Amino acid sequence: MEPRLPPAVHLYSANAGLLTHWRHGLAGRCRLLTHEKWQAPPDDGSVSLIDLHLPGLPAVTQPELWATHCPPRLVACSTLPHDDEGVAALRAGFRGYCNAWISVDLLPRLAAAVAA
């Protein structure tokens, strides 16, 4: 049985290659919305994958900046993941942290897990 996916997945990145990678893993499984600039996503049950290298994005190491801008179901995605950044992202309110280049086979499972 396929995992139940959210009604939409917001993709936040200015990296065309990364967006293509994410779309490849999630295509046909949910509605995808692409954003090249940060804006807080709606709290409508959707999941958001956020490239931590997105220009204008507040640093995850400053959780006070995320206190009012971190609705549920955000996943911090890093092209150079490391433990300190992951812990900071989770403390800031993100529901997940992963390598931005996560396997396309795992992307639907990630979205479903965060949505749940």
How confident is the model over 47-84, as pLDDT tens digits? 999 999 988 888 887 777 676 666 678 899 999 999 99
User: Any idea which residue has 């529901």 for tokens?
Assistant: 95
What's residue 93's pLDDT?
86
Burial of 54: CB neighbours in 10 Å, binned 0-12, 13-18, 19+:
middle
Is residue 55 helix, strand or coil?
coil
The four Cα atoms 110, 29, 80, 61 give a dihedral, to 10 degrees, of -60
Cα–Cα distance, 60 to 94 (Å, whole number)? 9
Q: What is the DSSP letter of 11?
A: E
